[in-house]
Each structure stands twice: as C-alpha cells, then as structure tokens.
Chains A and B, each alone.
Chain A
Amino acid sequence: MNTIAVNTAHSEPRDFLCLEETHPHNGTLLGFWLYLMSDCFIFAALFACNAVLGTSYAGGPSAHDLFDLPGLALNTALLLVSSVTFGFAMLEMARQRKRAMLGWLAVSGLLAACFVGLEIHEFMTMIAAGAGPGRSAFLSSFFTLVGTHGLHVTVGVIWLVVLMVQLGKHGFTEANRRRLMCLSMFWHFLDLVWVGVFSYVYLVGVLR
C-alpha cells in the first residue's frame, strides 16, 4: 500500500496513513463498565420512587416501626468485607496463585450469600407481620428497590460459583481473567449501590 510521503525539512519521509487498525483495548471491560452505568439508571429510578413515596404509609407501619438497625449494620458489614475479600482475590490473580484466589472468592461468595439470606429473612419477617409490598406505596417502593439490589447480589453469587468452577478447571486463561475482572467490577458496584440503600432508604427513612 502506498503512503503519501512528504519531504520537508526532515530527512525521513513521514507516514500519513495509519497502517494498523485502531481498536479498543480491553473493549469488554469498557462495555461492562457502560452496562454498570446503565444499571445506575435502574437504581436511580427506584431511588427516586422511594424518595417520592417514602412517607406514603397508607396508615400502615412506618420505616421507624419496621427497620431493624443492628441487623442492617450486620448486613452492611457483610457486604463491605465481601467487597474487600474480592479485592484480595483479584490481587492473587495478579500473582497467579489459583488456590489462594479460589479461597478468597469462596469467602466473598459466602459473605454475600449470608447477606442475601439475612435480607430474605428480613423480608419474610416483614411480610409475616402484615407489612408486605402490597401494604402501602412506601412498602412497594422499599421492596422493589431493596429486592432489585438483592437480586443483583444473588445473580453475582451464581456468577461467582460458575467462574470458580471455570477457574478450577481451566486456570488463568485470558477469558477467565476477563470474566473475573468483570465480576469484580460488578461486585464492587453492588457494594457502592448498597451505600445509597442503607444511607437513604434505611437511615434517612427512619428519621423522616
């Protein structure tokens, strides 16, 4: 292929044509990041619902009557620690230590599973007390927002188990690294959303 060469004051001809195709590097990770950003909108819409409907109790129980703050503190701690242990797992990936990584992944998965278990327990207790999602607009928005987050965490745990099996079987292949990096972003992102949930829905909910 001919390139247009211009001889100016410089002695060597200069290329004005890109010979190598431009392509995004690690395009999957950028794409996954964009997915997470779009996920932000789902949560933003649900947070907006909760902000608007958060005091529409319809004569039913209020946030102050329902929320168990020590239980919430435990849940928050579980998710935060699981986020950090997932970070430790990613550090082991950089060091190419498979067993250590699987160990940290298992710890993260167990902590997140406990989180989901406690949340399901909380939901069941509330529904048994007559404070189900159909009771008031406040409870509808609460169950939708917290339930959507819980569903995300559940899917994250399933994804984690699948990747642990893949990692165990095939080791640190390029595909596995990429998948684990995506899951790592997902995991930290869910912890970030939870900061909004416990601060706004629970703590501010109790106050207003």
Chain B
Amino acid sequence: MSHPSQSALEHGAAHHGGHDGEHADHGSLRSYLTGFVLAAILTIIPFWLVMGHVIHDTQVTVLVVLGLAAVQIVVHMIYFLHLDTRSENGWNMLAFIFTIVLVVIVLGASVWVMYNENANMMPMSPQYQNHQQGS
C-alpha cells in the first residue's frame, strides 16, 4: 500500500481530516466493555427464557429469542465491528445494507416457498409408502 497516512498509527478524531473514510477505528476499552455487558445480558435472557420455561406460549418465546438475537447482532456490529456510516466513506455500511436485504430475501423466500410446498404436498397413501419401502 502506497498511501502515506496511516491513521492506524495515531488514531483519533483529529486524524480524520486529510483523507476521510480511513478505517482504523479500534474502538476503546469502554466500547468493548459496553459491548460485552450488553451482549452478555442479551445472551443470558434467551437462555433463561428457554431453560427456565418462563413463558408458556412457545410461539412468544421463539419471537422473543429471535428479537433478542437481532438486537445482539446490532450490538456486535456497533461495539465490536465498529460499523458506522463514516468508515470507508460509507462503503462498509452500504455493502452491509445490501447484504442484509439479500439475506432477508434468501431466508424469507426460502422458508416461505418451502413451507407452502410442504403444506400443499399430496398426502402419501399407506399403500404407496409400502411400495416405496419394498423397492
């Protein structure tokens, strides 16, 4: 790499002047500890919910567990991966948003299609099942 300025050497707000979009933010002790505490809390709650059978409605428990996972992923993004709109002139954020859109399509559409395929599948008669096992 040829460009001269390495804000990795002396990182800080003052060095965002000349070249904007340099990604050398290592975070701080405070940000890592905040992230750790938040992530720990967001991990303990779903474990507690599932292991302690706290909520009787399974559907609600599933939704809460998935919601907490989504929040924890955001916490990891902010406090551990230091994702913000400034890094790499916003390209990191743009690539991330693009990925999220595609991942939602891949996950959502696959589950939707497969659920309907399964629900609309012709029921198998016992006779046919016996035939299958015999062959």
Contacts and interface: CB of A to CB of B under 8 A. Distances in A.
A104 B92 CA distance: 27
Chain B contact patch, size range = 35 or more
A32 to B, nearest CB: 10
Majority SS at the chain A contact face: helix
Given A25-B21, A30-B91, A94 B26 contact: yes
**Majority secondary structure, B binding face:** helix
A67 B39 CA distance: 22
A192 B106 contact: no
B51 to A, nearest CB: 5
Contacts of A66: none
Contacts, number: 141
Given A51-B111, A76-B43, A188-B76, A88 B32 contact: yes
B23 A203 contact: no
A34 interface: yes
A41 B66 CA distance: 19
B24 A26 contact: yes
A48 B106 contact: yes
Given A25-B19, A80-B36, A199 B24 contact: no
A204 B80 contact: no
Interface of B: 1, 3, 5-6, 8, 11, 19, 21-24, 26-29, 32-33, 35-36, 39-40, 43, 46-47, 50-51, 58, 61-62, 65-66, 68-69, 72-73, 76-77, 80-81, 88, 91-92, 95-96, 98-99, 102-103, 106-107, 110-111, 114-115
